[in-house]
Amino acid sequence: MKQRVLFTASTGSHLYNFHRPYLEAFHGLGWEVHAACGGPPPSLPEADAVFPVSFEKKMTAPSNFRAQAGLRRLMEEHRYDLIITHTSLAAFFTRRAAAALPKRPPVVNVAHGYLFDDDTPFFKRRLLLLAERLTAPQTDLLLTMNAWDFQAANRWRLGRRIENIPGVGVDFSRLDAPPGPRTQLRATYGFCDADFVLVYAAEFSARKNQAMLIRALPLLPERVRLLLPGQGALLEECRTLARTLGVADRTVFPGQVGQMGPLYALADAAVSASRSEGLPFNVMEAMYAALPVVATRVKGHTDLLTHGVTGLLYPYDDEAAFAVSVRHLLDDPAAAAAMGRAAREAAAPYALDQVLPQVLSLYTSVLPRTGAALEI
């Protein structure tokens, strides 16, 4: 009988965008692969079965407790040999469901970035930390992605065993196809050759903080343009802000973009205004595309970027400091190009073909029948 693994996440898009290579890898090991996620069930050809789960973003929503009960029934029915959970909300309710099993399989929690840090308000930090500590006994292996999370996980013993990983790997080959002439690419989005284009690919949310970038545009020369691909709850609010500040003609919202390669190819720099990160794909992709990166000095960014070498770091939500950093790139094109080249080199360890064997070996290392990692 085949061994079975269950992957869970708050949204199907998370599994689709970041974990399909791992579903395929388990198939290659001869496993039966199941996925359970919130939202509409995604097309996951690498999974043998995909189960919808009623996750909602608000932690205390009644549907989340129904999701927990549903996950427990799923676990009882299929008797998984291994459970791997992603995203904070799904990880909490997956582990709570597993805790109620008479015989619990090994559980791996991949922390894609704790939603708290030293600057988080006291009560919010305590609540989020309490959720992690409550589920620590059901966490046989905890995988973190940045130095702050790794230190916090060890300090508060948030898993039975804790390892730090270089993310889950980025398929940089998606960015290698020749995107076409730069002038033509720029014209597609209304840019000209003289424009200095900043790109930030992210969900429109309070944490990603696109509004700060829009507020900073009036502090920068007219030729600086902002390209903001993505969807999210705050998209329309950001459109309105751009119009209110008179920078709508300098801000482009192309919506969800399937292939980011052309956007990196037409840009002069990548930026991020995020409040916190795990190990962000958008920054790693921009680094591979040889773009200098201007990003907030927060966990995740500080793990990837060396200030003045591969990019520039500035204090969170400080539009004046952000504008100073962008002006530095404008005033010193040679330094900007050197940062881009250094960023490309620094991105190499995060490539999928480098990372996947490491992470898969850790996943399988918790299996009780071997006590050690399977050969891959």
* Residue 177 sits in the same domain as residue 267: yes
The CA distances from residue 277 to 116, 117, 144, 208, 303, in Å, are: 10, 10, 11, 9, 10
| Cα separations in angstroms, 227 against 199, 269, 345 | 5, 10, 25
Residues 139 and 266 in one domain: no
Distance between CA atoms of residues 127 and 10, nearest Å: 19
pLDDT at 208 > cutoff 90 = yes
Looking at 200-280, which runs of residues are DSSP E strands?
Answer: 224-227, 251-252, 269-272
Residues 330 and 356 in one domain: no
Determine the Cα–Cα distance for residues 12 and 30; give it in Å rounded to an integer. Answer: 23
pLDDT surpassing 80 at residue 333: yes
**335: phi then psi, degrees, rounded to nearest 5:** -65, -40
Same domain, 244 and 298: yes
Cα–Cα distance, 27 to 19 (Å, whole number) = 13
Which amino acid type is present at position 209? N
Predicted confidence band at 368 (pLDDT cuts at 50, 70, 90)? confident
Chain centroid to CA 373: 26
Instruction: For residues 33 and 81, give the distance between their C-alpha atoms in angstroms, rounded to a whole number.
Output: 11
Please indicate, yes or no, whether residues 277 and 289 belong to a single structural domain of this protein.
yes
180 and 298 in a single domain? The answer is yes
Residue 152 within any structural domain of the chain: yes
Count the domains in the chain: 2
Enter the tokens of residue 81.
Answer: 């040999």
Structural domain includes residue 13: yes
User: How far is 376 from 374, CA to CA, in rounded Å?
Assistant: 6
CATH number at residue 145: 3.40.50.2000
pLDDT of residue 58: 84
For residue 126, being part of any structural domain is answered with yes
Q: Which residues constitute the domain of residue 236?
A: 172-350
Question: Of 24, 59, 54, whose CA–CA distance to 36 is shortest?
Answer: 54
Neighbours of 127 (CB within 10 A): 13
**Statement to judge: residues 237 and 356 lie in one domain:** no
Q: Given this model, what pLDDT does residue 164 score?
A: 98
Least confident range from 173-177, 268-272, 335-339, 367-371: namely: 367-371
Would the pLDDT of 376 be above 70? no
**In-domain check, residue 66:** yes
* pTM given for the model: 0.92
Indicate whether 190 pLDDT > 70. Answer: yes
* Residue-wise DSSP of 101-145: SSSPPPEEEE-S--S--TTS-HHHHHHHHHHHHHHGGG-SEEEE-
Same domain, 245 and 155: no
Distance separating alpha carbons of residues 297 and 215, to the nearest angstrom? 18
- Average pLDDT value for the chain: 94
For range 265-270, the mean pLDDT: 97
Q: What per-residue confidence (pLDDT) applies to 369?
A: 67
The token duo for 122 is 């006291």
Question: Within a domain: residue 376?
Answer: no
One domain, residues 163 and 182: no
Instruction: State what percent of residues in the chain have pLDDT above 70.
Output: 98
Contact 304, 284 (CB under 8 A): yes
Residues 267 and 340 in one domain: yes
Flag whether pLDDT at 374 surpasses 50: no
Same domain, 60 and 186: no
Residue with tokens 């993505």: 230
Is residue 371 domain-resident? Answer: no
pLDDT of 315 above 60 = yes
Q: Are residues 234 and 288 in the same domain?
A: yes
Q: Is the model's pLDDT at 370 over the cut of 60?
A: no
The Cα-based distances of 337 to 41, 225, 292, 334, 340 in angstroms read 43, 18, 7, 5, 5
Q: Is 84 a member of any domain? A: yes
* Domain assignment of residue 139, yes or no: yes
> Does residue 110 surpass a pLDDT of 50?
yes
- Read off the pLDDT of each residue in 296-321 and give the average, rounded to a whole number: 97
Q: Which pLDDT value is given to residue 372?
A: 41
* Segment 242-256 mean pLDDT: 97
Q: At what angle do helices 333-346 and 319-331 cross, to 10 degrees?
A: 100
